[in-house]
Structure 1
Amino acid sequence: MSNSNTTHFTNPSIFILLGIPGLEAAHVWISIPFCITYAIAVLGNFAILFIVKRDPRLHEPMYYFLCMLAITDLVLSTSILPKMLAIFWFSSREIFFNACLLQMYFIHWFTIVESGLFSAMALDRYVAICHPLRHSTILSNPVVVKIVLAVMLRSCISTMPYPFLAGRLPYCRTHIIPHSYCEHISLAKLSCGDIRVNNYYGLFVLFTTMGVDIIFITVSYVLILTAIFRLPTKDARLKTFGTCTSHLGAILSFYIPSLFSFLAHRFAYNVPLNFHILLANVYLLVPPMLNPIIYGVRTKQIRHRLLHLFTQKGT
């Protein structure tokens, strides 16, 4: 009897998500800002997609990348929030093992897609500022399609081993995940097997995707700032730099919490668990809300188009 029970527990078909451990009594209150954040993210990103689709003047590389970013943000936030609200509101903590692996794959896949899109947008800003006369030639529509496909393919290939690495592990300690969603290393830590491969591969993916993207973005903006400081007048420098501030703000809001969350899982053992889980939720929910606001406010064409839509409805 004990052997059969042990065998059954070694490979559970259902896991339990705790939400935010230690803050169970505040789950309902925590869900309110998360709901507001998600609602703004959905409305804002759909507005970006609608405006770019309707206005032929926005059919340019920058706005194509922005549309891909909006789709990525919608997938990322939607992949975690419905289940999170089910935990917070209805104490529906069970998740099938295969569904957990699928959620984990989507989260990691589209996180790396978002990072790649920021690199592509940095390239677009570099070409627009440093080689403005050749912008349409360098970043033609076929080139943009190839860049997007390369970003998607890189993410798909690099994250594909995650479900297999997590699925091969024996789970004989517990089937309770101290998290609000299925994340690779959080799931692996439940195993009684050797998770060194999981750890090493996770770090490998982090440094060869997001790490490379950060280096590429940094180099692009060093070149951009060098070109800006060479402009003859202060007004020209400020105007040109203003076209980059929205991108920089979106980059910082994405990379700072995401890198802290990834590295804290492995190295920051003194970080309180509930703080870490809150931050892990923030980096998947807040950037999708901020991106359409940042780009909508700072991008003149989108801002004017939005005002035009509201003015038409008002009349």
Structure 2
Amino acid sequence: MKEPRTLKDAVVYFSDPDNCLNYLVKRRWPNGVHCPSCGSERVSFVPKRRVWQCKTRHPKCQFSVKVGTIFEDSPLGLDKWLPAVWMITNCKNGVSSWEIHRAIGVTQKTAWFMLHRIRLAMHSEDGKLSGGEIEADETFIGGLARNMHKDKKAKITGTGGAGKAIVMGLLDRNSSKVRLAHVPNTQGDTLHTHVRKYVKGGSYLFTDAFAGYHGLDREYIHQVIDHAESYVEGNVHTNSIENFWSLLKRGLKGTYVSVEPFHLFRYLDEQAFRYNNRKEMDDGDRFNAVVSQITDKRLTYDHLTGKDASTTPL
């Protein structure tokens, strides 16, 4: 049977344990299986236990295909893990832990943990954007004022961002790639630092008239659109990043409903991955891309819930 290209294909294909094993081995060890502990290629497969035995003596000389991946130490089979990866990778507005719970037959708590581990695989190292034309903007993530208790609503001032999480975004018009960061505030130093980290000097930079972006014209060709007067003036606008904010918030408000600021960066990784790979990849390609990034990434439940203080936050 050919490798899956749709969710239906994936459920059928990965119901066979041999298909799960062969699929992961092919992507994790394309040049041959080697021991994740010592790197030795002198290993032999133990069919009855579906593990490999390293012929070099050292602790943990037996290993499965899960060791050293986001699946490590999970009692769940790959027949549950891989369809879950497919669903979160390809559902445009995300997929809730309750839906995963119903779809693959695990508890909601387990599904929630699974999804966060998969989001870790969806994270990509952020390099500089290609330059050219970049849109920069920020948005506030939190509850709507009309849904708040009157005591909380009375504390809101200005544009209504008080007490909400702040996300800074940069969108490259040429590559249609977005870079996101959960930032502590909208002060000029914070926004300038984020722009300099990801945008090449000399690029065209398009922002709204917010004062936090003032001063960037010394390093970039900074063009401003004042939304009090208009939203588009020729090539000067921030409509592309505004459209992305709309997509992000549909997922956060419609699918996930309530997202703790502590975990927000994980949901940003998820949405950025899908958005950045929406054009050049189909569902099967995006799934393959996520699976290729599962190695050397580990997320324990204590770390996820903040109980493991000895571990540096991801």
Does TM-score exceed 0.5, indicating one fold? no
Higher RCO (CA 8 Å, separation ≥ 6 residues): 1
Q: TM-score range by the shorter chain?
A: under 0.3
- With structure 2 as the length reference, what TM-score do the two structures score? 0.26
TM-score by length of 1: 0.26
